[in-house]
Amino acid sequence: MPIPPHARGYEGFEGRVGRTTADSTPSWTYPPTAPAGAPNIVVILIDDMGYSDTGPYGSEIETPHLDRLAATGVRFTNYHTTPLCSPSRASLLTGINAHRAGYGYVSNADPGFPGLRLELADDVSTLPEILRDNGYATYAVGKWHLVRDANMGPGRTKDSWPTQRGFDRYYGSLEGLNSFYHPNQLTSDNGAVEVDEYPEGYYLTDDLTDRAVGYIKDLRAHSSKPFFLYFAHVAMHGPLQVKPSDRAKYHGRYAEGWDRLRESRFAAQLAAGLFPEGTEQAPRNTEPGYDVEPWDSLTADQQRRFAAYMEVYAGMVDSVDQSIGRVLDVIEELGELDNTIVVFTSDNGGTAEGGPEGTRSYFAEFAGVSDPDWVGDVPHDEQLIGTARLGVHYPRGWGQTSNTPFRFYKGQTFAGGVRVPFILSWPAGLPASGEIRDQYAYVTDLAPTLLDLAGLSKPAERRGLPAKEFDGVSAAPVIARGEPSRHVEQYSEITGHRGYYRDGWKLLALQDPGADIDSPHWQLFDVRTDPTELHDVSAIHPGKVAELAAAWDDAAWANTVFPLVTRADLARRRPEEARLSDPVTILAGTPTLERYRSSKLIAYRDFTIDVLVDDVGEGVLVAHGDPQGGYILYIENGRIVFGFNSFGRYTEAFGPVPIDAHTITVDATVAPRLRWNFRISVDGAPVARLDDQVQLVAMAPWTGISVGVDARGPVSWDLRERRGPFRYSGSLRSVTYRPGPVQVEAATVDRIESDAEVFAD
């Protein structure tokens, strides 16, 4: 019998429906299926790794697995990306120019303009979404950093979280950086991983690799469908920390310094054919704020310490290569390596964020904004460099070494910030033996290239909206046959730094602090003959400057770049974030609060913490932070102890606590020179004080607030060694934070926050 017109729920059913199954025919729907023989795809993205840090690009660091990929694939010498992290990741995963995708800066800002929405829009399709629509399993591990920091906690929108943007599974850090021994918060799929204490021997790169390998093994135990693995390493972003065994391999190897290392790396690059004969290496950067001192001008103490930083960095690069080897090994064990496209690249060039001398206290530098006597490099024991105890970063001399043979760093549009390694290997589909491609390619090209190589299509819509078209173009003809690049022009911009590439010409401008952001001082380079951008020919070719400057302006409007924003503008946040500073009561057993939410309860202000207990025991009442900075309140041996960790310098105050105590209070008062004074009282009676402590600002405390335990990274190293996370043994009812008004002047806050955003990428 026919289905009556008022029946519902049968729309689209392709079988036959009667009154019983005897006179009906079943039909099933199936998910998309990948084409027969579709390759697996693995994209390995490194953070803040410059052009020369791996064997295929001239490094002395041992990278045998990358050497193997380069030997079975192609190396690009002229691949470009954006100058910062979130913009590069957005472009890589969408094929869309960064501002047009909404990421004109990193996801630790929110100034309120279209090119800086810092969340993926509904009409932006991502590579994992496209691949999943084509029948792929999709996995992401590592750093995400495409979520505004205000949206990292429970109850906030997750529209830009990995599993909402096409990944079946995700494990890693939503943040722009993290500790390698004590991550402040890891996320599995859509929730925080609850952990009090990381196991002995824990190291983040190993943890991420374990998860990546596990995803692949789990898939193959259930299905033969092809997979996409996006492995976005947290390395090499600071703070730099390394396993002792990996650092030991490089002990003493950097005593000769960065000048000689840059020479040897450049010589290796020339010998490998990465640059044409006659290419000049850039000299040390000399511009104020970017400058590098001659190694031989440093004191013996400086040389010793600076070399130690580079040993740590080299060991971390080695660790990343080991991780790559583990992933390749499991794919090879499954018999699928030949039919797996593997891409290796970096999000931007090496960084100058360690300053001229590096730092042993990564988060401390911002605290000196209103105190000329503050030492950003807290002079910790040099033996602790690279260990779990410290967060360090190298001096910018090593950053320019990382970017050999180029000038400048991450954050600038010159080659040092945007020209990075790119290796692609696919033995079954693109038999190669180490070929070099010197054609121009850009980060937006990756998504269309991978789809082209795999023979896959991009849906025209996303969520019922016309999907934004790719800005990138497929580089498959370049890779396969060495054809000329079809990506012939490209704009770039970050906080006023500008660039425009067209057919071998490159127009560049550095934004000087304090200068008019819309009055660029253009420099012009013919990068066909001057790939290291040393010879400004703008005076010789004023017509070309005018032509490319007009093209930059047109591209800026076409890609949502305007309005141009300064770093000071980026300190602006949406008004509703003020609610994050409302008083809050945290009950015992509440999971560790997310970092950003926690910071809003204390940053730049007076605040009070009231701890309510039903009976006095021993253990931690509240802790906020980790070895890089924080504070802790605990009871031990009949005393109430308040400990304050000022960027690794730990101080305690203590007093008696009666057995019948019920309310323990910490009052923090802002003092001059960005300091706090603390008063601790029990049931209203003062018992201890701790004055003149440097405020924890910007990214510190890095680990959020935990109640009844010192979770994850320890605020007090000594206490952790003695008592572990030290869970409270008594009956703890709640901890209430009552933030007072901000007491630090707005100009100081804006400067600290805008400076910190650069580090947070």
pLDDT digits (tens, 9 = 90+) for 140-159: 999 999 999 999 999 999 99
pLDDT for residue 1? 67
pLDDT band, residue 376 (cuts 50/70/90):
confident
- Considering the domain architecture, whether residues 516 and 440 belong to the same structural domain is answered as no
Give residues with Cβ within 8 angstroms of 546, minimum separation 6. Answer: none
* 113 and 234 together in one domain: yes
Mean local confidence (pLDDT), 194-213? 97
Together in a domain, 161 and 281: yes
CATH, residue 542: 3.30.1120.10
Q: Are residues 213 and 281 in the same domain?
A: yes
6 within a domain of the structure (yes/no): no
For residue 424, give the 3-state DSSP assignment.
strand
Has residue 427 been placed in a domain?
yes
Of residues 519, 699, 677, 700, the one with CA closest to residue 606 = 677
Q: Which residues contact 481 (CB under 8 A, 6 or more apart)?
A: none
Query: How far is 243 from 319, CA to CA, in rounded Å?
Result: 8
Catalytic position from the list 65, 80, 99, 145: 145
541 and 426 together in one domain: no
d(CA 256, CA 62): 18
**Tell me, what DSSP letter sits at residue 37?**
T
pLDDT tens-digit readout, 492-539: 999 999 999 999 999 999 998 889 999 999 999 999 999 999 999 999
**Amino acid at position 225, single letter:** K
Same domain, 664 and 562: no
User: Is residue 375 predicted with pLDDT exceeding 80?
Assistant: no
Band of residue 698 on the pLDDT scale cut at 50, 70, 90 = confident
Is-catalytic flag, 380? no
What the block records as the tokens of 514 is 């304090």
Q: How many structural domains does the chain have?
A: 3
From CA 208, how far away is CA 47, in angstroms rounded?
14
* Mean pLDDT value of segment 553-560: 98
Please state the rounded mean pLDDT for residues 656-685. 96
Residue 759 pLDDT exceeds 80? no
pLDDT at 87 over 60: yes
Confidence of residue 746 (pLDDT cuts 50, 70, 90): confident
User: Distance (Å, rounded) from C-alpha 239 to C-alpha 383?
Assistant: 16
Identify the band that residue 639 occupies on the pLDDT scale cut at 50, 70 and 90: very high
pLDDT tens track for 23-33: 999 999 999 99
Predicted confidence at residue 297, as pLDDT, reads 98
For residue 685, pLDDT over 70 is answered with: yes
DSSP code, position 579: G
Give me the domain span that covers residue 501.
493-570
Mean pLDDT of 319-331: 98
Report the distance separating Cα 135 and Cα 451, nearest Å. Answer: 13
CA distance 627 to 138: 35
Whether residues 563 and 580 fall in one domain = no
Mean pLDDT of 432-447: 97
Percent of the chain with pLDDT over 70: 98
d(CA 77, CA 55): 14
Coil, strand or helix at 263: helix
Of the residues 553, 570, 587, which one is the last residue of a structural domain? 570
Residue 376 lies in a domain: no
The pLDDT tens digits for 277-291 are 999 999 999 999 999
**Of the candidate ranges 99-103, 431-435, 732-736, the one whose mean pLDDT is the lowest:** 431-435
Task: Report how far residue 472's alpha carbon sits from residue 487's, in angstroms, rounded to the nearest whole number.
Answer: 7
Mean pLDDT, rounded, for 407-421 = 97
Catalytic residue among 85, 393, 497, 624: 85
Q: Which residues pair with 636 in a beta bridge?
A: 639
SS (H, E, C) 121-182: CCCCCCHHHHHHHCCCEEEEEEECCCCCHHHCCCCCCCCCCHHHCCCCEEEEECCCCCCCCC
> For this structure, is 624 an active site residue?
no
* Residue with more model confidence, 324 or 367: 324
Percent pLDDT > 90 in the chain is: 91
Q: Give yes or no: residues 554 and 591 share one domain.
A: no
Residue 661 located in a structural domain: yes
Across the range 735-747, mean pLDDT stands at 93
Same domain, 702 and 624: yes
Q: Are residues 535 and 590 in the same domain?
A: no
Q: Is 214 helix (H, G, I), strand (E, B) or coil?
A: helix
The mean pLDDT value for 652-674 works out to 96
| Residue 490 binned pLDDT confidence (cut-offs 50, 70, 90) | very high
The whole-number average pLDDT for the span 103-126 is 94
Task: Report whether pLDDT(755) > 80.
Answer: no
pLDDT at residue 368 tops 60 = no
Hey, what's the torsion of the CAs at 420, 425, 431, 434, to 10 degrees?
40
Is the residue at 218 inside a domain? yes
Whether 658 is covered by a domain: the verdict is: yes
**What are phi and psi for residue 571, nearest 5 degrees?**
-75, -10
Q: Share the mean pLDDT of the chain.
A: 95
Residue 535 lies in a domain: yes
Same domain, 57 and 186: yes
The reply to whether 523 and 589 lie within a common domain is no
pLDDT average, residue stretch 347-367: 90
Q: Is 78 domain-assigned?
A: yes
pLDDT value at position 748?
83
Q: What CATH number did the domain enclosing 657 receive?
A: 2.60.120.200
Last residue of a domain, one of 549, 570, 591: 570
CATH number at residue 209: 3.40.720.10
Last residue of a domain, one of 526, 546, 570: 570
Check residue 760 and give its pLDDT: 59
212 has a pLDDT exceeding 60: yes
Choose among 640, 619, 633, 622: nearest CA to 584.
Answer: 622
